[in-house]
Amino acid sequence: MPSSLDNDQLLPSSPGKSKSERAHLMNRQVYRCFSSTSTMFLWALFLIALTVSYLSFQSVGSPYLSSSWGGTKWERQVRASARINRRGGMAVLVTGAGGFVGSHVSLALKRRGDGVVGLDNFNNYYETSLKKARRSLLSTNGIFIVEGDLNDAKLLAKLFDVVVFTHVMHLAAQAGVRYAMRNPLSYVHSNIAGLVTLLEACKSANPQPAVVWASSSSVYGLNEMVPFSEYHRTDQPASLYAATKKAGEEITHTYNHIYGLSITGLRFFTVYGPWGRPDMAYFSFTKSILQGRPITIYRGKNRADLARDFTFIDDIVRGCVASLDTSGKSTGSGGKKRGPAPYRIFNLGNTSPVTVPALVRILERHLKVKAKRTIVDMPGNGDVPFTHANISLAQRELGYKPTTDLETGLKKFVKWYLSYYGYGKSVN
């Protein structure tokens, strides 16, 4: 059986509130960025039309919506989990709470006294045992995760009826670039239809919550300007996953404009760390190295090494919590806008790209095992050759400052991995 580590070793400390004096200026700049891409408007309309069609299909009946919920006991659990235990605290609905980032953010909020209710469908994209282990960890810390699907509008309406949420931290999504080639409709279901269903619930709530949600660095697609800035073009997605995240940015902008929802989108850059996702390279490399199986390392054009802006989970969590703290208020009531509301987008990265071969060498040192490498050219599966975040906007508006380099972060990950999966090894 897997073992768990002490929470203090796994979880980031929670930041205090951050300054956002220039938020109004940033809002105007983002609006200009959106208005300058007329072709994106037409593309977004197409994706929204696709969403409406897909939602109609889902209403006929879907296996995703089979989870049971409701009843007196269930409502008591939801209310207890949402109870605020600090002055000026928040009541936050965290979607994807059984996931990697969602579980860490939920625990960070709960530890500082905020009310937290989770929502997760516990799908089988990767091993459900890991998701359930995260749920157990959250449960021991007083966090209740409702098992259900984002597209279940009745469930969302019930949650907003039981709890007056001040904020929504939307982290549920179908992740993965390559998986989209095998199961494209799962991305439409989760990343577009699910987002619209959630936003419908938020805009109809009274009062409306502020919404912080996970976009992705993948939206930069074929952009070759580095480091990636929030003001660079994002209308050339390289994968369906990226296209659904970009569509999400357009859709959230629409709900901000029409209904007065406060929206903050966060473009995460290659998040890693304890309790991570098994489909990520650092995680699968660790498993293969320990099992003595070869790992596949891709290279780009002209035999160039691929590079990623690897960002440790503690730093991402601090950015998420700071985004909640500075989100501002939604201005609508019962679906009617009463004034302009904040609309923000931030890069959350580490600003120090590292090549994949360098990542492997670090893992070898901490695992004390040599990797068996297979080097192949990068296939046309939606991956991009590099990512590199410009975080100056997040630094200025959120006080965001990543502090963990890849060497330190991977050491923490390996320590967790060896303990969780029961290896009789340790790292120095």
| R_g over Cα of the chain | 21
Sign of CA dihedral 207, 168, 261, 200: negative
- The yes-or-no answer on residue 255 being catalytic is no
Which stretches of 248-407 are assigned E, i.e. beta strand? Answer: 263-268, 271-272, 295-299, 307-308, 311-312, 332-333, 336-337, 343-348, 354-355, 373-377
Angle, CA 36 vertex, CA 33 and CA 41 arms, to 5°: 100
* Complete DSSP assignment for 302-325: GGPBPEE--EEHHHHHHHHHHHHH
238, 186 Cβ separation under 8 angstroms: no
232, 223 Cβ separation under 8 angstroms: yes
Q: Which pair of tokens denotes residue 344?
A: 């923000």
126, 277 Cβ separation under 8 angstroms: yes
Helices 72-82 and 153-162: angle between axes, nearest 10 degrees: 60
Per-position b or e across 335-361, b if 16+ CB within 10 A of its CB: eebeeebbbbbbbbbbbebbbbeebbe
Angle, CA 416 vertex, CA 413 and CA 421 arms, to 5°: 120
Q: Alpha-carbon distance 219 to 249, whole Å?
A: 9
CA distances from 89 to 13, 78, 110, 160, 325 (A): 16, 17, 10, 18, 10
CA distances from 120 to 61, 83, 95, 151, 422 (A): 19, 19, 6, 11, 27
270, 389 Cβ separation under 8 angstroms: no
The answer to whether the peptide bond before residue 402 is cis (omega within 30 degrees of 0) is no
Among 268, 263, 264, 262, smallest CA distance to 241 is for 268
Candidates 125, 179, 241, 400; catalytic one: 241
Query: Which residues are catalytically annotated?
Result: 241
